[in-house]
C-alpha cells in the first residue's frame, strides 16, 4: 500500500507541475485521487505519507483552478 501511495504522490506532483500541458480533467482526477488516498493513509496510520499525498492533491487541484481562471479571464 505504501508503494502504491508513493507512486500516486509522484504522479500527482508531476501532474501538478505539468498542469498547463496536461488535460485539466486528468490533473483534476489525479488531485482528487490523491486526496482520497491521503484520507485512507491517515486513517491507516500512514500519517506522514498521508499528509504528503494531501498536499500534492491540493496542489494539483489548485493548479487546475489557476489554469482554468487564466484561460477564462483571457477570453
- The model scores a pTM over 0.75: no
Q: Which three cell numbers stand for residue 4?
A: 502504491
Can you tell me the distance from the alpha carbon of 59 to that of 53, in angstroms, rounded to the nearest whole number?
Answer: 10
Q: What is the DSSP letter of 18?
A: T
Q: How far is Cα 75 from Cα 72, in angstroms, rounded to an integer?
A: 6
- Annotated domain spans of the chain: 2-74
- DSSP character at residue 1: -
CA distances from 31 to 3, 37, 75 (A): 18, 10, 26
pLDDT digits (tens, 9 = 90+) for 14-72: 766 765 666 767 777 777 777 887 888 778 877 887 787 788 778 877 877 777 776 65
Amino acid at each position: 500500500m505504501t508503494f502504491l501511495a508513493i507512486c500516486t504522490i509522484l504522479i500527482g506532483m508531476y501532474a501538478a507541475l505539468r498542469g498547463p500541458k496536461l488535460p485539466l480533467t486528468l490533473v483534476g482526477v489525479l488531485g482528487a485521487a490523491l486526496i482520497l488516498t491521503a484520507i485512507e493513509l491517515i486513517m491507516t496510520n500512514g500519517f506522514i505519507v498521508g499528509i504528503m499525498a494531501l498536499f500534492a492533491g491540493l496542489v494539483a487541484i489548485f493548479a487546475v483552478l489557476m489554469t482554468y481562471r487564466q484561460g477564462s479571464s483571457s477570453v
